[in-house]
Structure 1
């Protein structure tokens, strides 16, 4: 561990933090002007791209393995930009998400401190925390090797689940015949949240790419935090509460037969209507 360039990484972390502060600050200013705080969701993924680009540039001239650096930059950028484009397209023309509208009704005191405390400060901190493997990987001097190759494979599985799951859901919602129904086809037949499962796999893969040396084990915090967010906080837990209210028994039946996270064949249950 003494051979790891801790000083270079510390500088990288500081510059990445400064870049995220500027990035989030610009998004917050735009959101205030537009009176739509939910645009931060569009820039969640691209925020990681900012960190990846900064880290790649900061690590130029270091002893970090060039192939590893390029792969991590590419994988993070592809994931983050796809996610941002998908959410931006999905949210276009729908106004502010009800979650943020509800949050704004609870505001006490000045606007900007409230927004920093409740939305933007937290988002920025999480981007920096979850992106730690991306930053560590840029300074690992070892070739990608077996562990890194497994990480790339897991990333590919995750990206496929996330992208395909999102595309399937988009097509389902675009068909007026599906109004009031529960999406339970395609990947959604095997897990209630293929996009969230895929997201978690993406960050497990990037964590494995940070394991060029034992010091990379420190970055295990990233997939743990991301998975916890997806399952218990801002992801599945919030979504399913709303789905139960809107779809009632149809969604309860879907829960009973379909895995909540890890894909598996659906349980066999008596046939029930999927209409609300």
Structure 2
């Protein structure tokens, strides 16, 4: 188990170091968001290959779900980066950094995300490792259903937001239609569903309970740290109607909008 975890850790650190060198050449670190998704696919494939391409059902399910989720999201984010250019969040982060900006991005962007990616992916790594070939039980089917819901929810939410932004009439407006009417962050909710679903599948495969740290860390980052919390601080400053949107719309778990008196 520890050999596999160490192998994946060193693999991710190597990938992140290479991407850091690429960011120096490009003068932009924004593409790291797309690799965040692609990186999970790399970990899943590496774990599968490291253990000898074992012919076990849980391993195939974990690999398939991770690949479908990661490739779709990674491609979506990569195309968005190519279309929109540098992400203002990273631009401001680098501008405020003290000392060498390159050392700052290595430490605070690439290596940090590499370590977090490794932790979040623990259910996939150890679900594949502990898979002993037993048939899927109720826990695994619940995980598959939850992960499928997450992929669908995130995909629809991303499509709706892309279409909204593509309409010039919506410039400066708040997106409160479709899934965005029921939660302010359908994409983050979808991500969380996928990784809690993978956690359930990993448990069914025999992974230890403490791999819960993976989806728990992801959930925390999406809601409290670099996801919704950071985005909403910026949106409050740039969108006049966003405070009202917050007042009537769930922050994470979808539910009908609140009616204000």
Q: TM-score, normalised by structure 1?
A: 0.89
Deviations 1:225-254 (A, max 9, x none): 000000011100111111111112x11111
Give the drift of 1:144. 2.0
Tell me the distance in 1 between the aligned counterparts of 2:3 and 2:24: 32
Instruction: Select 2:119's aligned residue among 125, 129, 135.
Output: 129
Which of 116-125 and 90-99 deviates more?
90-99
Give the drift of 1:109. 3.4
- Alignment RMSD (CA, Å): 1.5
Give 5+ residue unaligned stretches, structure 2.
none
Change (3 A) 1:172 1:209: same
Aligned residue in 2 for 1:228: 220
- Partners of 1:72 and 1:206 within 8 A in 2: yes
Give 5+ residue unaligned stretches, structure 1.
1-8, 271-276
Aligned residue in 2 for 1:38: 30
Tell me the distance in 2 between the aligned counterparts of 1:112 and 1:32: 7
Tell me the distance in 1 between the aligned counterparts of 2:32 and 2:53: 34
- Partners of 2:17 and 2:111 within 8 A in 1: no
| Equivalences, count | 259
Alignment of 1:56-71 (within 5 A): 56-60=48-52, 66-71=56-61
Tell me the distance in 2 between the aligned counterparts of 1:34 and 1:230: 27
Which of 258-267 and 138-147 deviates more?
138-147
- Partners of 1:191 and 1:260 within 8 A in 2: yes
Instruction: Select 1:78's aligned residue among 68, 93, 97.
Output: 68
Q: Does 1:113 find its partner at 2:103?
A: yes
Alignment of 1:222-261 (within 5 A): 222-248=214-240, 250-261=241-252
Q: TM-score, normalised by structure 2?
A: 0.94
Change (3 A) 1:258 1:210: same
Give the drift of 1:180. 1.8
Instruction: Select 1:263's aligned residue among 234, 240, 254.
Output: 254
- Partners of 1:143 and 1:212 within 8 A in 2: no
Give the drift of 1:150. 0.4
Aligned residue in 2 for 1:143: 135
Aligned residue in 2 for 1:26: 18
Tell me the distance in 1 between the aligned counterparts of 2:231 and 2:100: 30
Change (3 A) 1:216 1:102: same
Tell me the distance in 1 between the aligned counterparts of 2:85 and 2:125: 35
